[in-house]
Amino acid sequence: MANCLTLKKSNCKNCYKCIRHCPVKAIRFSGNQAHIIGNECILCGHCFVVCPQNAKEIADGTEKARVLLQSGAPVIASIAPSFIANYDGIGIESMRKALKKLGFYDVEETAIGATIVKNEYERILKEEDRDVIISSCCHSINLLIQKYFPAALEYLADVMSPMQAHSVDIKKRMPEAKTVFIGPCVAKKDEAEHYEGIVDAVLTFEELTKWLKAEGIELEHETDKNDESRARFFPTTGGILKTMAQDAEGYTYLALDGVENCISALKDILSGKIHKCFIEMSACVGSCIGGPVMEKYHNTAPIRDYITISNYAGQKDFAVSQPAPMTLKKNFEMIAHKLATPSEAEIMSVLRQMGKFKESDELNCGSCGYSSCREKAIAIIQGKAEISMCLPFLKDKAESFSDTIVKNSPNGLLVLNENLEVQQINNAARKIMNIRAASDVLGEPVVRILDPTVFVQVKTSGRTVRDKRVYLAEYNKYIEQTVVYAPDSRMLISIMRDVTDLEVDREKKTRINKQTLEVADSVVEKQMRIVQEIASLLGETAAETKIALTKLKESIEDE
């Protein structure tokens, strides 16, 4: 398979959006990076469209087209009929003028090839005895069948795509010509490289726009009318059917868009539920006008684009020289890709590693991109996914780790939301406030258990209060309280250290010191009286004795 879609590894941010939107889960995650699995990818381009980091890149064909222009051979552009929806108010004549300035010999509409293909579909329906026929215009649908539903290959119309049919027609008319297809599709690049010698290069509308801009060429706003242009309907859902007579006896005609819808239909076909039916299948919702490289994919307007196509399309077919059926034949081979299906024991082993021990544990939330936990487990065994992609698993693991810390912390922890309602409380905090169970206070206003003043102050000011000693009279407890406001999570966190025993010891020591001082005062007074009596008898001064006793008293007070 051509390497049409690649990944800029440095941009992958592990959002898993690409795997969630990949209809065939052809993306592998390894080393915290997404990798496209080439032999499983159907090149629908969904990952390119949804990637928020622009990590998916489409191989640029501009240089290849430049080389063709410099080769001396006449290079003719085949432009997909969806161009009128991509380039507002720009008709085929305006496109021809602009591309000739780039060096193209001429520009034609791929819708000419679509007419040829449509004619061949009608011939098959009328002349060949077939049951179910699936259109083969969409290369992504062809790849889907080749890789995932090979048993349905017999129903896939063995007819060239409009791109190929038009290129063959051009080269029949001008044998020396080279052809460059321009359209909204990633898969066409792979189709051109796989079926060599038919289409020489493929550009996307985005590449064309950049090229024109680099050369300073502006598209002139003018549209043309051509009543023989009914095949311009091809890029819309049901557009192929709209160009067909739909008169083959006994056949039902229907159109499907979106890979998921087509997968459902293929399953029904293989189960024998559908017969005598012509099915137009498009991988993109809305068909080609919803293509991944329509430049307005980020601002799609399906109704407006359909009306644009409808107004531009004529009522009659292009005048074409219909080639012989054999020259339009296209063979589709099965493309093997599937890895071995793991055993039930292997699947259960991985599920247990993901924390899924019973069926009720399998949330099948789809956050990893897979539709079920079992599908994810199979992908892990096949080396396409990692256990860490399971967000509930990571959440539970993180919560388990944090819960272990919170539950075993000797300090009381209390978490409040901005409404000052209790969101979390640990065992140490419950013990401080004599709360029987966390459920008694969770979701309740904090005023039920604590004075909210400090929380209001911290929330209002945004300033943290640290190690503030508080007496909780209702609980007869002393705590050192730190209150922090976390603006990102809009939570208030209170850390409470129970210092009741320390406070009791301090008060006890204070009482003892006070009692000691009282005794010292009493002793001093008694000694002073005795000293005075002795002094009066001995005629000595009591000054020195008083000083000594005063120093004794001061030393006790200092303690």
In this prediction, residue 399 has a pLDDT band, given cuts at 50, 70 and 90, of low
Mean per-residue pLDDT for 175-199?
95
Distance CA 131, CA 482 (A): 78
In a domain, 280, yes or no: yes
Which residues lie below 8 Å from residue 432, measured CB to CB, with a gap of 6+? 412, 472, 475, 477, 479, 496, 498
For the cut 60, the answer to whether the pLDDT of residue 453 exceeds it is yes
pLDDT digits (tens, 9 = 90+) for 148-158: 999 999 999 99
pLDDT higher for 522 or 491? Answer: 491
Q: Same domain for 173 and 210?
A: yes
In a domain, 109, yes or no: yes
Whether the pTM exceeds 0.85: the reply is no
Q: Same domain for 148 and 210?
A: yes
For the cut 50, the answer to whether the pLDDT of residue 1 exceeds it is no
Mean per-residue pLDDT for 162-178?
97
Greatest mean pLDDT among 3-17, 157-171, 533-547 = 157-171
The pLDDT value recorded for residue 495 is 93
* Pair of tokens at residue 294: 């329509």
Range with the poorest average pLDDT among 181-185, 211-215, 434-438, 506-510: 506-510
Q: Are 52 and 167 in contact (CB under 8 A)?
A: no
In a domain, 493, yes or no: yes
| 536 CB-side CA count, 13 A | 5
Indicate the number of domains in the chain: 4
The pLDDT value recorded for residue 543 is 61
Domain carrying residue 433: 409-498
Q: Same domain for 320 and 302?
A: yes
Mean per-residue pLDDT for 277-299?
86
Distance CA 320, CA 314 (A): 15
Q: From residue 508, how far is each of 5, 381, 413, 502, 515 by CA, in Å?
A: 78, 67, 29, 10, 11
Q: Same domain for 169 and 239?
A: yes
For the cut 50, the answer to whether the pLDDT of residue 2 exceeds it is no
Q: Same domain for 488 and 548?
A: no
In this prediction, residue 392 has a pLDDT band, given cuts at 50, 70 and 90, of low
Q: Same domain for 159 and 279?
A: yes
For the cut 70, the answer to whether the pLDDT of residue 431 exceeds it is yes
In this prediction, residue 401 has a pLDDT band, given cuts at 50, 70 and 90, of low
The pLDDT value recorded for residue 501 is 84
In a domain, 28, yes or no: no
In a domain, 37, yes or no: no
Q: Same domain for 251 and 273?
A: yes
For the cut 60, the answer to whether the pLDDT of residue 181 exceeds it is yes
Q: What percent of the chain has pLDDT over 90?
A: 59
In this prediction, residue 548 has a pLDDT band, given cuts at 50, 70 and 90, of low
Q: Same domain for 192 and 100?
A: yes
Q: Where among 458, 480, 498 does a domain terminate? A: 498
In a domain, 52, yes or no: no
The DSSP annotation for 207-254 comes to HHHHHHHHTT-----B----SB-GGGGTTSTTHHHHHS----TT-EEE
Supply the mean pLDDT for the chain. Answer: 87
Q: Same domain for 228 and 304?
A: yes
Please count the residues of the chain. Answer: 559
Range with the poorest average pLDDT among 138-152, 219-233, 335-349, 527-541: 527-541
Range with the poorest average pLDDT among 27-41, 288-302, 332-346: 288-302
Q: Where among 352, 368, 396 does a domain terminate? A: 396
Q: Same domain for 201 and 322?
A: yes
In a domain, 539, yes or no: yes
For the cut 90, the answer to whether the pLDDT of residue 32 exceeds it is no
For the cut 50, the answer to whether the pLDDT of residue 388 exceeds it is yes
For the cut 80, the answer to whether the pLDDT of residue 238 exceeds it is yes
For the cut 90, the answer to whether the pLDDT of residue 454 exceeds it is yes
Mean per-residue pLDDT for 455-477?
91
Q: Where among 450, 465, 498 does a domain terminate? A: 498
Mean per-residue pLDDT for 361-380?
76
What is the CATH classification number for the domain harbouring 351?
1.10.15
Q: Are 415 and 425 in contact (CB under 8 A)?
A: yes
What is the CATH classification number for the domain harbouring 420?
3.30.450.20
In a domain, 6, yes or no: no
pLDDT digits (tens, 9 = 90+) for 57-100: 888 999 999 999 999 999 999 999 999 999 988 999 999 999 99
pLDDT digits (tens, 9 = 90+) for 196-215: 999 999 999 999 999 999 99
Q: Same domain for 281 and 346?
A: no
The DSSP annotation for 426-467 comes to -HHHHHHTT-S-GGGTTTSBGGGTS--HHHHHHHHH-PPEEE
Q: Same domain for 439 and 465?
A: yes
The pLDDT value recorded for residue 512 is 80
